[in-house]
Amino acid sequence: MAAKSQGKRGWIFTLHFPSYVPFMQYSGKRELRRKMLMAYISRGFRANKYDNREIIIKIVNLRLELAKILGFTNFAEMTLGDRMADKQTTVEKFLLELFNASKKAATRDFENVRKFAVECGHDDSFERWDWPFYSEKLKKKLYNIDDEILKPYFRLENAEKAIFDLAFTLYGIKFVPAASIPVYHREVKTYEVYDSDNSFLAIFYADYHPRPGKSGGAWMTSYRDQRKSEGTDIRPHISIVGNFTRASETRPSLLSFSELTTFLHEFGHALHGMLTRCTYESLSGTNVARDFVELPSQFMENYAYEKSWLDSWATHYQTGDKIPYEIIEQIKKASTFNEGYGCFRQLGFAFLDMAWHTIASPLETDIKEFETSVSGKTELFPVIEDTCISASFGHIFGGGYAAGYYGYKWAEVLDADAFSFFREKGIFNRESALSFRKNILEKGGSEKALALYIRFRGKEASLEPFLQRSGLI
Ligand SMILES: [Zn+2]
């Protein structure tokens, strides 16, 4: 299509993710893969008018200046004060511990793929542009899983009911259809949500299907956040929005496994929004520290892998057969494939992000030199000249992840630790759920996230549950 629209024959591949990633994974043309990778990681670093070298230095120096004006030693200290991690040293300690814990698995993954490439006839040096191609091939060989295969077992209506029932089991809350509530589109479903003592908690909106003009992806949002006003508890209006395939004349709406986890994820955010009991709107519900906000959502995703939960509702929409749990086991195993390497890559970005934002005095150095000196320890491939990730690192220089990239792994460690607490006492245990509700879901950002977590868990999160779940130990 892209080629045709430009009046060319053949195919055009671009550096946009939906084009770039499959190309790197599936193209057997090594030289083209090299070219694509080089183009990708030299964006903003080609000594032309789009070169970002000077802009990067300017950004980090200005961020440092801002932090100093406000009395902080560096930019990281300034932003981390509002996060769960709180301090530069906490983040550095966390990253280092994870680095040490995942080193072995990362090297193991690297060697496995390298050896597999040799088995496939690769007889040159093993380079970064070979990685996506051979690791995808190896993944196919080890786990030939199709995300679509479970669809007949995940009928949307059944999944919705099962998720509402799960919320009832854990928290005693009930979802009552309330069709009279005004909506912005006739497909939006509405519910009144009641607590176990029948008191009113929230209004819940669900907008599941794609339609022209609607954004892609899935998210949770609120039309009214919870707050207290002159002694009255104003309850929230919370919505989840998705793009799940709609029913056809012959088939009901069926979810893939990843759509089921997405549903659980957004529902976790929704619970955070609906169960909250705070005074101020700006601190209620999901208005929490950025490295804490994904705990309730990622926590819920864990249920998608639990046999006892799936067995209670996931049956084939035509035959009524129970879900074949071997496939879930396979999905679980596949989800740990190359996690060591993946973790190492993310740590590399997190170290780089922290390095840029903990400089003590203005920089004048070459950004490539700075990057190489920081990334060396997590780099398993040879350094590639003329490329520099920092120059196109949108997350930390463009978006709001400055001194926050560590948050991805931080959130995973948290949710794995929280779920392990549930696992100890039973994943449907009311007591654990009550503690999660009282100390996490109800509190929003009204107290320090770490204090809340410790109150729920009895201690700080440890790395082990995450390492185990990801197959790193
Ligand atoms: Zn989320």
What torsion do the CA atoms of 162, 166, 172, 174 make, to the nearest 10 degrees?
-30
Q: How far does residue 269's CA lie from ligand 1's centre (Å)?
A: 7
- Both tokens of 166, joined, read 């799960």
Type and span of the H or E element at 252: none
- Both tokens of 455, joined, read 């109150």
Mean pLDDT of the chain: 95
Give the pLDDT confidence score for residue 17 in this predicted structure.
83
Residue spans per domain, the chain: 2-40, 53-143+337-397, 155-305
What would the pLDDT profile of 35-73 be if each residue is shown by its tens digit? 999 999 999 999 999 999 999 999 999 999 999 999 999
Q: Side-chain half-sphere of 298: how many Cα atoms within 13 Å? A: 20
Q: How far does residue 274's CA lie from ligand 1's centre (Å)?
A: 15
Q: How far does residue 265's CA lie from ligand 1's centre (Å)?
A: 6
Type and span of the H or E element at 227: strand 227-229
Give the pLDDT confidence score for residue 1 in this predicted structure.
59
Q: How far does residue 367's CA lie from ligand 1's centre (Å)?
A: 32
The residue ranges of DSSP E strands in 328-443, in sequence order, are none
Residues 254 and 245: beta-carbon distance below 8 Å: yes
- Decide the pairing of beta strands 174-177 and 227-229: unpaired
Could you give the CA distance from residue 396 to residue 238 in angstroms, rounded to a whole number?
30
Type and span of the H or E element at 167: helix 156-171
Q: How far does residue 450's CA lie from ligand 1's centre (Å)?
A: 19
The residue ranges of DSSP E strands in 59-172, in sequence order, are none
Place of tokens 């949002």: 221
Give the pLDDT confidence score for residue 3 in this predicted structure.
78
Q: How far does residue 110's CA lie from ligand 1's centre (Å)?
A: 30
Give the pLDDT confidence score for residue 28 in this predicted structure.
96
pTM greater than 0.85: yes
Residues 411 and 295: beta-carbon distance below 8 Å: yes
What Å distances lie between residue 313 and 209, 334, 427, CA to CA? 22, 24, 16
Name the nearest CA neighbour of 202 among 120, 264, 121, 286.
Answer: 286
Give the pLDDT confidence score for residue 358 in this predicted structure.
97
Residues 371 and 388: beta-carbon distance below 8 Å: yes
Q: How far does residue 406's CA lie from ligand 1's centre (Å)?
A: 16
Mapped onto helix, strand or coil, the DSSP state of residue 238 is strand
Could you give the CA distance from residue 73 to residue 64 in angstroms, rounded to a whole number?
8
Q: How far does residue 294's CA lie from ligand 1's centre (Å)?
A: 5
Give the pLDDT confidence score for residue 355 in this predicted structure.
97
Statement: 53-143+337-397 belongs to CATH 3.10.20.30: no
Give the pLDDT confidence score for residue 325 in this predicted structure.
87
Q: How far does residue 446's CA lie from ligand 1's centre (Å)?
A: 20
- Both tokens of 419, joined, read 């779920």
Give the pLDDT confidence score for residue 145 in this predicted structure.
80
The DSSP secondary structure of 282-347, one letter per residue, reads GGSTT-S-TTTTTHHHHHHHGGGG-HHHHHTT-B-TTT-PBP-HHHHHHHHHHHTTTHHHHHHHHH
pLDDT tens track of the chain, all 473 residues? Answer: 567 778 888 889 999 888 899 999 999 999 999 999 999 999 999 999 999 999 999 999 999 999 999 999 999 999 999 999 999 999 999 999 999 999 999 999 999 999 999 999 999 999 999 999 999 999 999 998 877 889 999 999 999 999 999 999 999 999 999 999 999 999 999 999 999 999 999 999 999 999 999 998 999 999 999 999 999 999 999 999 999 988 999 999 999 999 999 999 999 999 999 999 999 999 999 999 999 999 999 999 999 999 999 999 999 999 999 999 898 899 889 999 999 999 999 999 999 999 999 999 999 999 999 999 998 899 999 989 999 999 999 888 987 789 999 999 999 999 999 999 999 999 999 999 999 999 999 999 999 999 999 999 999 999 999 999 999 98
Neighbours of ion ligand 1 (CB under 5 A): 297
Could you give the CA distance from residue 339 to residue 472 in angstroms, rounded to a whole number?
7
Mapped onto helix, strand or coil, the DSSP state of residue 191 is strand
Active site residues: 266
- Decide the pairing of beta strands 174-177 and 189-194: antiparallel
Q: How far does residue 295's CA lie from ligand 1's centre (Å)?
A: 8
Give the pLDDT confidence score for residue 71 in this predicted structure.
97
Architecture of the CATH domain 155-305: 3-Layer(aba) Sandwich (3.40)
What Å distances lie between residue 297 and 91, 370, 440, CA to CA? 22, 36, 12
Phi/psi at 56 (5° precision): -60, -50
